[in-house]
Amino acid sequence: MSAVPYNVRLSDGADSLIILDQRRLPLEEAYLELHTREELFDAIRSLAVRGAPAIGIAAGYGYYLCAREDADKPDFFSRMDDAERYLASARPTAVNLFRALARMRACLKRNALSERNELIAKLRLEAEAIQREDVGANVKISEAGLTLMQPGMGVLTHCNAGPLATSLYGTALGPILLAQERGYAPKVFADETRPLMQGARLTAYELNRAGVDVTLICDNMAGQVMREGRVQAVFIGCDRAAMNGDCANKIGSASLAVLAKHYSVPFYIFMPLTTADPDTPSGDGIRIEERASEEVTELFFRSRIAPDGIKVYNPAFDVVDHSLITAIVTEEGVLRPPFDVSLRDALERSRSGAGDRSRKE
């Protein structure tokens, strides 16, 4: 697969984090340079950087930058605990955020007795490893997903699970981009994804730029597209997967799954195994983030479209029941039901592979 520049990366001096500001797409490609924990928190919370894997990568680099900033403080380790809690509070649903921070904390503890400069260098290497492993996972997910596609196939997408949501190729969009490169000529219908329009602003932008035949539809048109036989599969990403296969993704995903079941359209989840949460048995244990009412009552906080004083319920995610999922595509291949078995087996294979790589290194 052809590469594109990372959307999340360290500056040349490794003293700040550079991110593509997704809030300004598709009209403007602008980058933010983040130096402080407050700036990183705001970038994650405000969706300047978004997508579960990309959030985890940003958090890893952010933890390193916090350590770099506080290296000479006498209460260094206490400040790092505070930094972890603060960054973890930016968004509650995407498990990659918490796993990346936990991994950075473990690196800190392993090297706690090292010279401070050496410790900071180890943290940077760990953050870079998180990103490098995400790239590798996305390549494998894309190749596995391609086995589910046929030339000219119609695919429905929801929200954004492309390069913008990861570090390079993407998850649910990865197979589509790979199919385009290899001459499959896929036809994609992209849900706009209310209320923040990630499908319209980001997925349509990425696919159109890659030359994919993409058609933008409103969310409530998905059933008609399925009824007309225009799509042969639904591809979506995932922000947290429970161990029974229940998957939390952008709000509207569960409705799509019900529609797909009715119209006998296969429904596929694409995710790296870092998105699986071994501590969550079922979707009932996934905390759903609720966001500001202005995301619903105003168009990008500029033009009001609802009456003043109206009550708003704005969950950012919903949970797709495992019974509605045809397969979960990961770097360990295409996982089929029962997911409580196949997902655990995949996690075990992944851990074993990581152990083998560690021993070789």
What are the tokens at 79? 């400040």
Apex 247 CA angle, 209 and 162, nearest 5:
10
Give the separation between CA 258 and CA 360, rounded to whole angstroms.
Answer: 46
- Provide the angle, in degrees to the nearest 10, between the axes of the packed helices 52-70 and 76-88: 160
Just give the CATH number of 8-139. Answer: 1.20.120.420
Encode pLDDT of 119-153 as tens digits: 999 999 999 999 999 999 999 999 999 999 999 99
Q: Which residues pair with 334 in a beta bridge?
A: 329
Question: Catalytic residue at 239?
Answer: yes
What are the tokens at 140? 């494998």
What is the band of 6 on the pLDDT scale with cuts at 50, 70, 90? confident
| CATH level 3 topology of 150-360 | Rossmann fold (3.40.50)
Encode pLDDT of 148-165 as tens digits: 999 999 999 999 999 999
Encode pLDDT of 285-324 as tens digits: 999 999 999 999 998 767 899 999 999 999 999 999 999 9
Pinpoint the residues of the chain covered by CATH 3.40.50.10470.
150-360
Q: Which residue, chain included where needed, has tokens 């392993």?
A: 110
Where in the chain does DSSP place strands (E)?
8-10, 17-20, 31-34, 154-157, 187-191, 213-217, 233-236, 240-241, 247-250, 267-270, 298-299, 303-304, 317-320, 327-330, 333-335
Give the separation between CA 159 and CA 138, rounded to whole angstroms.
Answer: 17
Pinpoint the residues of the chain covered by CATH 1.20.120.420.
8-139
Encode pLDDT of 76-110 as tens digits: 999 999 999 999 999 988 889 999 999 999 999 99
Catalytic, out of 239, 246, 277, 318: 239
